[in-house]
Amino acid sequence: MTTQHRLKEIMLANKLNLKEFSEKIKIPYRTLQNYLLGKRTIRMDALTNICIHMGINLNWLATGKGEMYDRKGTEKVKTLGGTIEWLNE
């Protein structure tokens, strides 16, 4: 399975269309569309961004190995987000 297929799997699992997914992961619609069509190579920073916003295991997204969701990583991101909000208060 390719990275493009795994992106589609994330969209299906989260019941998101292309527009909703692009907004959620903060990647422009056309860029995401090109990733899905294989017209553009997905850069590591884009993969990382997707993982942060969706709670996805980076190893799974990049290679297909492991579980789709990264439970520990998601908790770290939530904790970091809470810390940043607290610091901004």
Q: What CATH number does the domain containing 83 carry?
A: 1.10.260.40
* Overall domain count for the chain: 1
Higher-confidence position of 86 and 22:
22
Q: Which residues neighbour 73 within 8 Å (Cβ) at sequence distance 6 or greater?
A: 51, 55, 57, 58
Average pLDDT on 41-45 reads 92
Average pLDDT, rounded, for the chain:
86
pTM attached to this predicted model: 0.76
Residue 70 pLDDT more than 90?
no
Taking the CA atoms of the chain, what radius of gyration do you get in angstroms?
Answer: 14
Range of the structural domain that residue 46 is part of: 3-88
Q: Is residue 1 very low, low, confident or very high in pLDDT (cuts 50, 70, 90)?
A: confident
Residue 83 pLDDT more than 70?
no
